A = this chain, B = another copy of it.
Amino acid sequence: MPKLTIETINPKVVEAKYAVRGAVPIRAGEIKKDMQIHPEKYPFDSLIMSNIGNPHALMQKPLSFHREVLSLVSSPFLLEKEEILKGHFSPESIKRAKDFMASIPVGTGAYTNSKGFEFVRKHVAEYIEERDGFPANPENIYLTDGASAGVKNILQLIASPGDGVMIPIPQYPLYSATLSLLGAKQIDYFLDEDDCWGIKKEELLRSYAAADTTIRALCVINPGNPVGAVLVKKDIEDIISFCHEKGILLMADEVYQINCYKEEKPFISFKKTLCEMERDGRIPKGEVELVSFHSVSKGIIGECGLRGGYMEVVNIDEEVLAQVYKMASVSLCPNTTGQLVVDLMIHPPTEPETRAIYDKEVSELFMSLKRRAKKVGESLTGVEGIHLNPVEGAMYAFPRIDIPEKAVAEAKKRGVAPDVMYCLDMLEEVGVCTVPGSGFGQRPGTFHVRFSFLPLEEVFDSFMDRVIGFHKKFLAKWK
């Protein structure tokens, strides 16, 4: 008899849920393997993995500039071989790689400072200053292995067992899972589905008042995951005021800041808005504590596998920051490749030849994402039993699905949630892997499904056809 069983291990681990890689994707993995041996068993010739924001997995190409620099930094001897460099690497790739090596003469194989390379943090601060028009301090930048590592570090810092942290519903399950693991309480505030998934101050007040514990922080995701919405300035200001009134930390997950597709709804950072409110005297200076997260996994570059990210801490006590540093130190340092990609992401080339290639690649990717966001909206709008808010940002559509009574009863019989049954059936029937709304949280009695709009344009129409075709059959079957 094993001594470690589901009954004897840490119950907080067992309680934690993470549906983005849960039952539906796990079943998709089984099908993928089985299809190689028994393709005839399946009524589709390929699986479409739209369960996760993982662009390269769907054959999106990396940006050449970034990868050229990484190649040169991995083997610095290349920088001395004119015959290799000439004609194969763009001028600024070479220059940037040389700059990197000048900043880190020991190369990428050493542990760095627990906060990451100093020169990268300096560039991140410059990026934020340029983006927002307000000062940023490199000492307040912490490089991380993707945004997830930063979020986990800060939640662990502030939340003792029993403490409450406000998170949006629906939310990205990193938040709920981490709070479960910490034994902290998830305090739900609901996004307003009837108003483009906006955030209303009354709802924040209701959520706060209903909590029966000390609230330590409020988490917000903008642009939204899974909802694909972009917050308006008024909502951002209300959230800042709310955190100020309640004296709680504001954690702003802004990893989709580049992924905004509607001109009338641009990305506005929490840092910038806070600085404006401080400048205008609407909020006293230094009183709102803010941590903002960014990542190389999203945006246009989608370098998920390289695990790079950063967080900016604002108005946080120095003694507390020493604790953030110590916790980062227990993991020694973020990986150096990810650190350099952060630098490359926020510090594009300026030399004309390199920039021309870079701009072409970036603009093609961005325009394509924008077209796909639009197409998702157009395809699903008007389909019976599907209710979709405008797709404004991030990489996801999160439609509400009408699931007929009979299907709900059938799901109960099968022992799964109705939206899980919907997603499992979609996977089995048309080979599209999605995530059920219950994996993110949704208002009781409503059902949603999240799928990324990352499948490439050459297969996008067929992807939408599969989704809608399945939906119509599902509705007809259970009506």
Contacts and interface: CB of A to CB of B under 8 A. Distances in A.
Copies in the complex: 2
A174 interface: yes
Given A74-B70, A315-B2, A320-B2, A145 B307 contact: yes
Interface in A241-259: 247-249
Interface in A16-75: 16, 18, 20-21, 29, 52, 54-57, 59-60, 62, 64, 67-68, 70-72, 74-75
Contact of A332 (B108, B148, B183, B331): B148
A13 B181 CA distance: 15
Contacts of A161: 161, 183
The 6 A-B residue pairs with the shortest CB-CB distance in the complex, in nearest-first order: A56-B109, A305-B336, A57-B110, A56-B110, A307-B335, A21-B329
A478 interface: no
A367 interface: no
A74 B67 contact: yes
A459 interface: no
Contact of A9 (B77, B158, B332): B158
A74 B81 CA distance: 18
Given A323-B6, A327-B13, A111 B57 contact: yes
Given A3-B247, A16-B326, A249-B4, A148 B75 contact: no
A88 interface: yes
A156 interface: yes
A194 interface: no
Contacts of A307: 145, 332-336
Interface in A380-438: none
A146 interface: yes
A156 B335 contact: no
A470 to B, nearest CB: 25
A476 interface: no
